[in-house]
Chain A
Amino acid sequence: MKNIKQKLIEKLKENYGTSIESVVEFQGTLTITVGKEKLKDICTFLRGDFDLYFDMCKDIVGVDYQRPDFRFEVVYNLYSIKNNFRFLLKIKLQETDLHIPSVVDIWPGVNWPEREVYDFFGIIFDGHPDLRRIYMPEDFEYFPLRKEFPLMGIPGSIPLPRK
């Protein structure tokens, strides 16, 4: 019997070969980078396939790399309870196009993690039912975990009550 890792890589390559950008394994964690056009299809497939059955999206993380070829990365931490297997699914984003399809209808639990990534990086999840800020005040105008945001914030951007 093949192990789940080989099965996953094979199935993905077979079905979505063209949109897979890289498959890397580092220190026991498998990372698969895919193009964002096929993200929704791939997620539906991973969730629905009976062998793989990735029924849990534990977390969604944003990363700001500020590289010349791409700016942001969105990382999906997918876990299959049945197989006890975890891997990271990554999407690279250009600064000019911050839209990415939402996967809330596949894993309802990622509603808040997607809001968190939106709050901190300004990445817009198309199709999210309620894309509001989650941690910062709703009238805050900046995205604080972007590299250009100063550590101490922008003075006066969040008013304090009068003394």
Chain B
Amino acid sequence: MGLMDKDGFLTTKLDTLLNWSRKNSLWPMPMGISCCAIEMMSFAGPRFDVSRFGSEVFRFSPRQSDLMIVAGTVTYKMAKVVRKIYDQMPEPKWVMSMGACASSGGMYRSYSVVQGIDLFIPVDIYVAGCPPRPENVLNALIELQKKIARNEK
């Protein structure tokens, strides 16, 4: 983007403009499945205040959101639901895998828990921790914004 002061207009690429607007208003779909969801709530709450980064509008309808935060343990039974909700989100969409459980199965190394949600949906960013601190989730959001600005998918 380049700002030309004296002529009073702005030149940019359409892609860059679109990505800039997308990255600053990511509407999360809170896929809060277990304990990580509590941390996700405080990430949205006044103390950590995700609205500083434009993502305060948590939508419980997948059709109105573009970032799915998978916060919690995904069992095989739940995997179908997560996938269905992911499919209902309009493009462009991103997925944040929050916590050890969603990223790798975490401490649940067992027959009922999917060992990482990347086995059935594409993940853009992984957040480490059990549960991750809200700062860590904020950091992931900022990294994701950078990724969107770079036009990576």
A contacts, CB < 8 Å to B? 135-137, 144, 149-154, 158, 160-163
Contact B80 A152 (CB under 8 A): no
Contacts of A137 in B (CB 8 A): 76-77
Q: How large is the interface on B (under 10, 10 to 19, 20 to 34, 35 or more residues)?
A: 10 to 19
Secondary structure of the A contact surface, majority rule: loop
8 closest residue pairs by CB, A with B: A153-B111, A161-B83, A158-B76, A160-B120, A161-B120, A137-B77, A144-B111, A160-B79
Contact A151 B76 (CB under 8 A): no
Complex-state Cα separation, A136 to B76, whole angstroms: 9
Contact B119 A163 (CB under 8 A): yes
Contacts of A161 in B (CB 8 A): 79-80, 83-84, 120
Contacts of B84 in A (CB 8 A): 161
Q: Which residue of chain A lies nearest to B76 when distances are taken between CB atoms in the complex?
A: A158
Contact B122 A163 (CB under 8 A): yes
Contact B120 A163 (CB under 8 A): yes
Complex-state Cα separation, A163 to B122, whole angstroms: 7
Q: Which residue of chain A lies nearest to B79 when distances are taken between CB atoms in the complex?
A: A160
Contact B121 A163 (CB under 8 A): yes
| Further pairs besides A149-B111, A161-B84: 13, Cβ < 8 Å | A135-B77, A144-B112, A150-B111, A152-B109, A153-B111, A154-B111, A158-B76, A160-B76, A160-B119, A160-B120, A161-B120, A163-B120, A163-B121
